[in-house]
Chain A
Amino acid sequence: MKLRIKVDPDLCIGAASCVTIAPETFQLNDENKAVVFDHGTEPTPRTYERVIEVSEDEKENILLGAQSCPTLAIFIYDEDGNQLFPEL
């Protein structure tokens, strides 16, 4: 399945809990903000938003990473554009 993953850099404070939980998907850039990776690779350009293909297990871990963010700066959407996290 595909997920759209978005980081709001205005909310991100670089706490890095997402990086600890899901390092294949989240890494910090030089501004100390989380950017979205695709399975550990960094497609250019660096970006705060990306659509990636994930397995069910990967999806669960990415959701856990998003849930761990103390400023709720990570938004996850499914293929149909429904917001999976934060829950509305």
Chain B
Amino acid sequence: MRYLIVGGGIAGTTAAEELRKIDPNGSIVLISEEQNRLYSRVLLPHYINGKVERERCFLKKESWYEQQKIEAHFGVTVSKLDVKNHFVATSDGREHEYDKLLIATGGEVKTHDEDCRGISYLRTLDDADHLLQLLGESPSSVGIVGAGFIAIEYINIFADRGLKAELFTRTGRFFSRSLDQDSSDLIKERVERDGIVVSNNPPRLQEYAIVGIGMGVAPDLSWIKEAGVETRAGILANDFLETNVPNVYTAGDVAEYFDLFAKRHLIVGNWMNAMTQGRIVAKTMAGERTRFELVSSYATNVRGMEIIFVGDTDREKAERIIRRGSKGEGGITQLFVRAGRVVGATLVNRNSERAEVTKLIREKIDL
């Protein structure tokens, strides 16, 4: 069997590792846009604040790929997929045939129109190195664009260094797709205590020595669409992570898969989801057809305050939102309800409810 995996992040690499466990002799080719072997993006903030050394970010040794008989091509992108003749063409002028293809290409960071030297992103190890360089130049003023997970990382990085950042958010709300105004206000009040100024004016990027951009990610679907693989915001897949094209599968941040708890297609951009999908899709690719069933969650901490997302946290898709706690109590939980069941939750400074709400979602308990 010839397995071809496009994407060398945690989804693609976990799939390769799992395929090797199931099929000791199959051919496994891994194509990665990254120049680097697998590292943890989640560790980048720890690397930037000096908690871990750069080398500790890597999750696999250089020799691992060869030991596992995984033929890895780094720094290579796909230019064309031919699903009829079962091959992909790559930027280094090669063609790779496959019996089973996994697309796990992740998301591309959305870039700001303006380009100046101090602009910083926080997606790759190179981005982290660049930010460390900028921070080493004793910046006098710093800004942040966005109000999601990456913006939170910039808030912590700047505040740790005593830098008073100005944060620009178009919506005026943190995590505007998920949080209500009061939950957002809790975060805002917390960061303002550390001197962060939250503004919904258009940003003036040139005024800052560093501007951290956290405007989200979106996948590059160009060659995937051209090949006839069905897409929306991501690659459409069923609950087995199979696409509309036979022998083509998807996993990780690029997958818009049918979620068995939310009962709708979701794109979930977190570590736990990507890793688990990589493991599950490998089983299916190797012939043990396996459903993907996971209530995934993601947590971040802003200046000591925990923010936790569990399951489907799109406010607009909820039929009803049950709220526990209040601004006055210092913490708010939102439970998102559809068809009489909790499908997702956000917890701001109410960590102790995490296990309970995860159970409500996982066990599909009727309210």
The residues of A that contact B42 with a CB separation of less than 8 Å are: 13, 15, 70-71
Distance in Å from the Cβ of B168 to the closest Cβ of chain A?
Answer: 25
Q: Mark A6-36, 1 if CB is under 8 A from B, else 0.
A: 0000110111110010000001101110000
Question: B308 contacts A70, CB within 8 Å?
Answer: no
A16 touches which one: B41, B56, B299 (CB < 8 A)? B299
Minimal Cβ-Cβ distance residue in B for A64? B279
The residues of A that contact B276 with a CB separation of less than 8 Å are: 17, 20
Question: B351 contacts A20, CB within 8 Å?
Answer: no
Question: A15 contacts B56, CB within 8 Å?
Answer: no
A-side interface size class:
10 to 19
The residues of A that contact B271 with a CB separation of less than 8 Å are: 15, 17, 70
B291 contacts the other chain (CB 8 A): no
Question: A13 contacts B300, CB within 8 Å?
Answer: yes
A87 contacts the other chain (CB 8 A): yes
Minimal Cβ-Cβ distance residue in B for A8? B51
Docked CA distance A32–B301 (Å): 9
Q: A16-B297, A71-B40 are in contact. Are A87 and B61 (CB under 8 A)?
A: yes
Question: B351 contacts A72, CB within 8 Å?
Answer: no
Question: A11 contacts B61, CB within 8 Å?
Answer: no
User: What number of residue pairs across chains A and B have CB atoms under 8 A from each other?
Assistant: 63
Q: A32-B354, A87-B61 are in contact. Are A13 and B272 (CB under 8 A)?
A: no
Question: B306 contacts A14, CB within 8 Å?
Answer: yes
Docked CA distance A28–B306 (Å): 13
The residues of B that contact A20 with a CB separation of less than 8 Å are: 272, 276, 294
Question: A10 contacts B51, CB within 8 Å?
Answer: yes
The residues of A that contact B352 with a CB separation of less than 8 Å are: 30
Minimal Cβ-Cβ distance residue in A for B61? A87
Q: Mark B262-283, 1 if CB is under 8 A from A, else 0.
A: 0000000011100110000000
Minimal Cβ-Cβ distance residue in A for B43? A71
B87 contacts the other chain (CB 8 A): no
B46 contacts the other chain (CB 8 A): yes
Q: Which of B273-332 contact A (CB under 8 A)?
A: 275-276, 294, 297-301, 306, 308
Question: A72 contacts B299, CB within 8 Å?
Answer: no
Minimal Cβ-Cβ distance residue in A for B275? A68
B52 contacts the other chain (CB 8 A): yes
Distance in Å from the Cβ of B79 to the closest Cβ of chain A?
Answer: 31
Question: A32 contacts B306, CB within 8 Å?
Answer: yes
B339 contacts the other chain (CB 8 A): no
* 7 A-B pairs with least C-beta separation: A70-B42, A14-B299, A70-B271, A17-B272, A32-B351, A32-B306, A70-B40
9 residue pairs from A and B, CB less than 8 Å apart = A13-B42, A14-B306, A15-B270, A16-B297, A16-B354, A28-B354, A31-B306, A32-B299, A32-B354
* Chain B residues engaging chain A, CB cutoff 8 angstroms: 10, 40-43, 46, 51-52, 56, 59, 61, 270-272, 275-276, 294, 297-301, 306, 308, 351-352, 354-355
